A and B are shown apart, each in its own frame.
Chain A
Amino acid sequence: MRRRTNNDMKRAGYRRGFSLIEAMVAGALLATSVVGLVSFVYVNFQMTNNSTNMTTASAAARSEIERIRLAGFANAAEGSSTDYYDSTGSYPGSATQTASSVYAVQTTVTSDLLNGTSPATGALRTVCVSVSLVSSGSVVYQTYTALASGGV
């Protein structure tokens, strides 16, 4: 059997050192990956939440727009009102905020021509529906339309 020389010992030492470096690189890579993964999952979680909020908010806003259309040009009340919707956004909302309220839908009707507090026949009435989160107050969705006497 050949006796182990100094060179052999050195090579073995390099190999052992290389394994340590390898493990450190792998560890760093894994740590970076985990940090990236957590950030990624967090961003995606937020993105999914935002998407859900946007979809529900646009449905709730559509309901409010239809409600105003149904009331008609002459009867849609001038000014602002707020309805509260739960997480499903199912119509109708509630005029008062409850524990299950997730969305606050503010509908604002303004006329460019008034007779007292009522819209003049020749007015263009702007309807703004703004949906915000009850929890944070941040606006998720905002849409506008207009009403005219004899219009759609």
Chain B
Amino acid sequence: MYRNKKYRRSATRGGVLITTLVISTIVASMLAGLGTLLSSYYSRSVNEMNYASAINLADAGVNYEIRKISANASSADLPGSTTPLGSLVSFGNGSFRVYCTMADGTTSWDKSTSPFCIIATGISGSVSRTVQISAASSSGGGGTAGLFAIVSGTMSGSPDVNGSIATDGTLDFNGMPNITGDVIFDGPSARYINPPGCGAPSTISNPNAVSWPTVSNVALSLFPATGATAPGGLAYLATHNDNLLAVPPILGTTISLSGSSTVSLVGKPGGSNYYLTSLTASGNSGITFNNLLGPITVWVGPAGGSGTFTLTGGTATVKMATDPTKAVRIYVATTSGASLTGKSELDAGVYNVTGGTSTLAMSGNSSIYGTVIADKFTFSGNTTVNATSGYFTPSGVGNYLYNNAWVEKNGM
């Protein structure tokens, strides 16, 4: 009896502790496993974040280089002879390495061959990702065409276009236009809604859209917002213009003509700038451009304004083809659109780029010797456009552009 009790006591001695230790060990093992799993999940999330950031930094590197070589190709970053290749640039909360090569992706770019490659590696935390893109010098695409529609161009009736038509958007030919040049599609969104019915001109497709600055930006680039021309741009022109130089002088910023009245805008050496908020002309009235002494620029503002702009024509004393230094340019910044009507001749480049909202309407039997660049244009009647280039320059011409080939060189 006593021996049995002793045996039981011996058997239970330390039992609680051992059981506790065993349970603790099992729970600890399970928690360690769970901890490892969660830790792995956490570090995977951190890696994913760095992975996403690294590609953004690599793209930043490409754009950094495009901007750099567009300003000065001779400053291009090259692979160099030490690894890692290229120049290291700190950017945001990471960095990137970038360099330019020939199209083979390895040889240093000679700074004149096009297309070529830009290779950029984005570095975020412990993750790096490398992209390689094809870049090319900008040809200007359809930037030299006589007619350019950024968003859309519509032609009905039978207009004659002695030159080329280009667009970043759509072209819709409802009538029977006679186009002697090419139809140029710039960028991936450019296309026909309806092609010309017959005698279709040849079509050229460029990979990149042509970028045109808005009228406001053109004005700001010519009259900066700082210094003597502050507040710059159209705001400066509203109060500093040559309206009084016109014959008869323009008092204020509006012109309203009827009957057979005319206003002659006069040029001067270095160029005269006229600022209007509205221009209406009807009947046989109109304006003429006396640019014997210098070029004439007409600004129609303010940006986004709703003033009426109707032009029945406007002959220039000196044609662009004769002397490009005395060109007549009309910039329309209002979004209410502009109308070119009537039968008389217009010797000017008309620029109506406001950011995609304005429409330039041409009707009647007007004849234009110049260039028309517009967000949207509509042609009706028998308008004739005799395309003359040289009036306007798109953004980025002479610079370098992404050439529609992007590839990631390695994974994580």
Contacts and interface: CB of A to CB of B under 8 A. Distances in A.
B60 A121 contact: no
Contacts of B225: 115-116
Contacts, number: 160
A150 B138 contact: yes
A54 B138 CA distance: 40
A26 B41 contact: no
Give the interface size bracket for A toward B. Answer: 35 or more
Contacts of A115: 217, 220-221, 224-225, 233
Nearest to B37: A44
B20 A26 contact: yes
A23 interface: yes
B56 A150 contact: no
B203 interface: no
Interface string B367-407: 00000000000000000000000000001100111100010
A133 to B, nearest CB: 15
Contacts of B175: none
B9 A150 contact: no
Interface residues of B, number: 64
Contacts of A65: 56
Contact of A151 (B46, B53, B66): B66
Given A26-B17, A115-B221, A122 B70 contact: yes
Interface of B: 2, 9, 13-14, 16-17, 19-21, 24, 27-28, 31, 34-35, 38-39, 41-42, 44-46, 48-49, 52-53, 56-57, 59-60, 62-64, 66-67, 70-71, 91-94, 124, 133, 138, 208, 211, 213-214, 216-217, 220-221, 224-225, 232-233, 355, 395-396, 399-402, 406
21 contacts: A23-B16, A29-B17, A29-B21, A30-B20, A44-B38, A48-B38, A48-B42, A58-B52, A62-B52, A115-B217, A115-B221, A115-B225, A121-B213, A126-B92, A143-B52, A143-B93, A150-B138, A150-B211, A150-B402, A151-B67, A151-B401
Interface of A: 1-2, 15, 18-19, 22-23, 25-26, 29-30, 33, 37, 40, 44, 47-48, 50-52, 54-55, 57-58, 61-62, 65, 73-75, 115-116, 118, 120-124, 126, 128, 141-152
